[in-house]
Amino acid sequence: MLEKEMFAKQHESGGWEDEFGMIGPFQQGFGPRTNPKPGHPTGPDIGQRLPDIVATAHDGAVIDVHKARAGAAAIVVFFRSAVW
């Protein structure tokens, strides 16, 4: 069972401070600031083949990551959002 990181301290600026002293508008443990405690799932392990990813890219092209990298090494980033 995953546990939420709940450390939060109200900062004088009105924001909320997390366990590393990072200040954000949301309180840790709620909404967009819902982080797990360390040791959360990180997907396939080192040594495994990256599972297939086929998705539509920003320009509308359908990209198959393993085909598109054309035999080269690659970096695949899973990021939060381009909007917020």
Partner 1 sequence: MFALSYDEQDALAAYADEYGVTFPLLSDPKSEIIESFGILNTLMDADDHPWYGIPFPGTYVIDADGIIIAKFFESNMAIRANADQLRRAAIGEEVTIEPLSEPPSEVTADVSFDGESLAVGVVRDLLVTFRVPEGQHLYGEPVPSGMVATSVEFDESEGLVTFDPQFPPTHKHTLSGTGEELQVYEGDVVVRIPITHNQRSIEKLDDGSRVVRVSGTLRWQSCDDEVCHLPVAQPFELALPALRSNTPEFRRKEGSTRMDTPTHFAKMTERRKEPQ
Which residues bind to partner 1, rule: CB under 8 A? Answer: 2, 4-5, 18-24, 31-51, 53, 55-61, 63, 65-66, 68-69, 71-84
- Please answer whether residues 34 and 4 qualify as being in contact, where contact means their C-beta atoms are separated by less than 8 angstroms: yes
d(CA 66, CA 50) in angstroms, rounded, equals 9
- If one counts every other C-beta atom within 10 angstroms of the C-beta of residue 6, the result is 14
d(CA 36, CA 2) in angstroms, rounded, equals 7
